[in-house]
Amino acid sequence: MELKYVGPKPIISHTGIEFDKNKEDKYIYLNIIVQFLKALSHEYHEDKTYIYDAQLTTCNACEILNELKRYCPKINILMDKQNHKIEDIIDHNLQRAHENNVLSAIDKEVLENNIHIMHDYLVQRSINKSVYYCAVDMLAELLKKDHIDHIIVPMYQEFAHVLHSVQGSITRQKIPIDTKLDIYNDNGKLLLKLQVVRII
Task: Determine the average pLDDT of the residues in 191-200.
Answer: 86
Residues in contact with 97: Cβ distance below 8 Å, sequence separation at least 6, in sequence order? 103, 108, 111, 112, 115
**Residue 55 pLDDT greater than 60, yes or no:** no
pLDDT of residue 57 exceeding 70, the answer is: no
Among 38-47, 59-68, 123-132, 158-167, which stretch is predicted with the lowest mean pLDDT? 38-47
Q: What is the reported pLDDT for 117?
A: 97
Instruction: Determine the Cα angle at 97 with ends 92 and 102, to 5°.
Output: 140
User: What is the four-CA torsion angle of 157, 177, 134, 21, rounded to 10 degrees?
Assistant: -30
- pLDDT band of 54, cuts 50, 70, 90: low
Query: What mean pLDDT is predicted for residues 154-180?
Result: 91
How many angstroms separate the CA atoms of 24 and 105, rounded? Answer: 33
Q: What is the mean pLDDT of residues 46-51?
A: 64
Average pLDDT over all residues of the chain: 90
Q: Cα separation of 121 and 3, whole Å?
A: 12
pLDDT digits (tens, 9 = 90+) for 105-117: 999 999 999 999 9
Q: Which residue has the higher pLDDT, 121 or 142?
A: 121
pLDDT surpassing 90 at residue 122:
yes
Q: Sign (positive/negative) of CA torsion 177, 175, 34, 88? A: negative
pTM of the model: 0.89
pLDDT on residue 177: 86
Mean pLDDT of the 161-176 span: 91
> What DSSP designation does 137 have?
H
